[in-house]
Structure 1
Amino acid sequence: MSRDVAIPATTPAAAGTPPTTRPRSPHGRRQARAGWVFTAPALLLVLLFVGLPVVMAVWVSVSGWRGRGSPFASGVPFVGLDNYRTLLAGGGLATQDLGTALRNNSWYVVLVVPLQTVVALLLAVAVNRRTLRGRGFFRTAFYFPSVTSSVAIVVVFLFLFSASGAVNQVIGVLGIDGPNWFADPRGVLHVLLGGLGGGEAPGALAEHGFIGISWWEWLAGPSVAMSALIMLAVFTTSGTFMLLFLAGLQNISAEVEEAALVDGASSFQRLRYVTVPMLRPVLFTVLTLGLVGTWQVFDQIYAGTQGGPAKTTITPAYLSYTSSFVDQRWGQGAAIAFILFAIIVVLTLVQRAVLRGDRT
């Protein structure tokens, strides 16, 4: 004789009844308290040495503080967005200097980030080959410039371009006046156009501009001195990003490469259609770090050229330093720093959106 078993038609969850939240156990509460206790020192340090200076910098950027006494003293005037207006739309020397710095740094970013990314990827692919002998030596040799003092490398690198340096000795054989070409304030594109007889600025590009300088100056390209610093940056940073790519390459399964090889894919096709797509997270990290680092370039400028010749190597970070510590315009210096921060955030978000779009 069979017995009928009554089965409920719906459960509380299926009927739409919200699930009940279990009260946290005493053990869970003790774990939460322990977590806050262990993280509290680090949080306090971050708030003290990062949060508080940021708040102070925000106030300085909207005040007329001159570097004497406390910026929060009662006598410090509040100027609002005057410092930002003076820099972005004032039309004076401050606006021209900011425009020149942004122009120089833009060319620096446009050239350094792609070059160092490509060089780092190619180096990682080369040292990841199992058939390469002495892989440890090559990895160390390629990474060594990244751990060397940047000031020391800048001094040695610029010594090569001095009047009696090796570079001028070599190009002297070609009949080029070495000591003068490195101090040429023109952009390399203008130099090339001048050599072809087209160095005059078109009227539309000379009359209109952006942030204090004409579009003709924006399109000048980096100066020869900035080009040397660009080569220096690629030389010193490619090793670090090589290690990131190398870690990503070692996480790619060997079966994937073997399957592409069996299908008849060439080395370039495997790199283009297999390796690079699988390195997308590493590529995003490398591009983001490169973008942030190149927009914050300071030590190479300070130790090498200090903005010369004719301000062709000045950058926003170096301009913020000189405006604050040299010219005692602390409000403008802090405003430049926040303008630079906004540029980095916007470009990082754009880069993230572009990479996400490629994924879909």
Structure 2
Amino acid sequence: MTATATAPRRARNTRSGIRRGEALAGWVFTLPVILILGVFLLIPVVMALWVSVSDWSGRGSPFSSNVGFVGLQNYAAVTTGDGLATRDFGTAMRNNTWYVLLVVPLQTALSLFLAVLVNGAILRGRGFFRTAFYFPSVTASVAITVLFIFLFSTSGVVNEILGAIGIAGPNWLADPRGLLHILFGAVGITDGPAALTQNDFLGLSWWNWIAGPSVAMTVFIIMAIFTTSGTFMLLFLAALQNISPEVQEAAMVDGANAWQRFWRVTLPQLKPALFTVLTLGLIGCWQVFDQIYTGTKGQPAKTTLTPAYLSYDASFLDQDWGQGAAIAFILFAIIVLLTLFQRWALRDRPVSARRARQYQPKETRP
């Protein structure tokens, strides 16, 4: 074999050896992180999954011989049973569903509005406003919770203002009714139709499902929007600053007005940031715990109970570790499914010829 024939082989062997060395070096550098994630994340998740399908009492190791396998009994107890566990889980799901439906859209819209506002050239002191809008996000949630509970309490500022304008200020936080039920009661509707009161889901009638958030939960909703919009504003602001000015100028040359430029040019380019904001907001809303623990502990009448707090209550207070872990994994499944749905809804779709003509200014359409 000649030297010219063996040269390519030596080059290939050298390149493969370099790649193997790079791969080995990559594994060496990432090994500490893999070990940390395995010890503090993967192993606890596997242990929690086993606890959710076992009768572990909280004493000793969950893998000891006296811990038995119960299958899906813990999951069935909170989803299909007729007892208090199912009703509490249904109440927590109802409360958290209203929390998600109100917080996620409002905080996303507000954070996008603030990002567009501080990104505009006409606003003076943009640095000050960026800091002011972001400041609530870095404040401890415990301090914010105590402040909001005080503002809406009987002797709080909100009730003082309502009293000054002639509206009696009762203890709003102690009212267990939902906002929609309060509005229905104001017009004389106190009982729902039979179709809503005689059928139930997770231990609650559909009339209770559509009650809306209580006043106390509404306070937490306002607080969540107030404290998270600043963080998401920065994400939108970074995405807005990455949009080339030439794109906006081209749209202006085509005759697009400000709303058309935002809706048809700016917003489509914000889709990655929008997905991130919606996903983080969704996860944060379904995992709300510290505000409930600090503020109300699920009261009044369990109208601020959430699945995350219910999991803590079942595990650490009632010592029912199996049901607590089952609630946590149900919550995990809900978050994953909704995240996948968001990814599907915000996916890139091919633009049809008819839709492309709709995006063209009228002057340039054929």
TM-score by length of 2: 0.90
Alignment deviations for residues 183-213 of structure 1 (CA, whole Å, 9 cap, x no partner): 1111100100110112211111001011111
In the alignment, what sits opposite 2:236?
Answer: 245
In the alignment, what sits opposite 1:160?
Answer: 151
Q: Which amino acid aligns with 2:85?
A: A
Residue 85 of structure 1 pairs with residue 72 of structure 2: no
Once residues 290 and 349 of structure 2 are traced to their aligned partners in structure 1, the CA distance between those partners, rounded to angstroms, is 35
In the alignment, what sits opposite 1:17?
Answer: none
Q: Secondary structure at the match of 1:117?
A: helix
Alignment deviations for residues 287-338 of structure 1 (CA, whole Å, 9 cap, x no partner): 1111111000111111111101110001000000000000100000000000
In the alignment, what sits opposite 1:149?
Answer: 140
Residue 289 of structure 1 pairs with residue 280 of structure 2: yes
In the alignment, what sits opposite 1:44?
Answer: 35
Alignment deviations for residues 80-127 of structure 1 (CA, whole Å, 9 cap, x no partner): 111011110011100000000000000000000000000000000000
Contact 2:179–2:214 (CA under 8 A) maintained in structure 1: yes
Q: Which amino acid aligns with 2:343?
A: R
Report how far residue 176 of structure 1 moved.
Answer: 3.9
The one of 173, 176, 180 aligned to 1:185: 176
In the alignment, what sits opposite 1:347?
Answer: 338
Contact 2:90–2:204 (CA under 8 A) maintained in structure 1: yes
Report how far residue 175 of structure 1 moved.
Answer: 4.4
Report how far residue 23 of structure 1 moved.
Answer: 8.5
Report how far residue 76 of structure 1 moved.
Answer: 1.3
In the alignment, what sits opposite 2:304?
Answer: 313
With over 3 angstroms needed to count, the CA separation of the structure-2 counterparts of 1:359 and 1:284, relative to structure 1, is farther
Once residues 246 and 204 of structure 2 are traced to their aligned partners in structure 1, the CA distance between those partners, rounded to angstroms, is 55
With over 3 angstroms needed to count, the CA separation of the structure-2 counterparts of 1:203 and 1:151, relative to structure 1, is same
Alignment deviations for residues 142-192 of structure 1 (CA, whole Å, 9 cap, x no partner): 001111101101111111011110001111234444233321111100100
Residue 268 of structure 1 pairs with residue 290 of structure 2: no
Once residues 57 and 350 of structure 2 are traced to their aligned partners in structure 1, the CA distance between those partners, rounded to angstroms, is 50
The one of 129, 135, 140 aligned to 1:138: 129
In the alignment, what sits opposite 2:85?
Answer: 94
Q: Secondary structure at the match of 2:102?
A: helix
Q: Which amino acid aligns with 1:294?
A: C
Q: Which amino acid aligns with 1:313?
A: T
In the alignment, what sits opposite 1:328?
Answer: 319
RMSD (CA atoms)? 1.5
Q: Spell out the pairing of 1:95-114 with structure 2 (5 A cutoff).
A: 95-114=86-105
Q: Secondary structure at the match of 2:174?
A: coil
In the alignment, what sits opposite 2:106?
Answer: 115
The one of 202, 213, 217 aligned to 1:222: 213
Report how far residue 270 of structure 1 moved.
Answer: 1.9
Report how far residue 351 of structure 1 moved.
Answer: 1.2
Q: Which amino acid aligns with 1:143?
A: Y
Q: Secondary structure at the match of 2:238?
A: helix
Once residues 250 and 177 of structure 2 are traced to their aligned partners in structure 1, the CA distance between those partners, rounded to angstroms, is 52
Residue 212 of structure 1 pairs with residue 203 of structure 2: yes
With over 3 angstroms needed to count, the CA separation of the structure-2 counterparts of 1:319 and 1:158, relative to structure 1, is same
Q: Which amino acid aligns with 2:169?
A: G
Q: Spell out the pairing of 1:18-97 with structure 2 (5 A cutoff).
A: 25-97=16-88
Once residues 306 and 350 of structure 2 are traced to their aligned partners in structure 1, the CA distance between those partners, rounded to angstroms, is 34
In the alignment, what sits opposite 2:290?
Answer: 299
Return 5+ residue gaps in structure 1 as ranges: 1-20
Report how far residue 357 of structure 1 moved.
Answer: 6.4
Q: Which amino acid aligns with 1:28?
A: R
Once residues 218 and 302 of structure 2 are traced to their aligned partners in structure 1, the CA distance between those partners, rounded to angstroms, is 14
Once residues 133 and 261 of structure 2 are traced to their aligned partners in structure 1, the CA distance between those partners, rounded to angstroms, is 24
Once residues 144 and 189 of structure 1 are traced to their aligned partners in structure 2, the CA distance between those partners, rounded to angstroms, is 33
Percent of residue pairs bearing the same amino acid type = 66
Once residues 24 and 72 of structure 1 are traced to their aligned partners in structure 2, the CA distance between those partners, rounded to angstroms, is 48
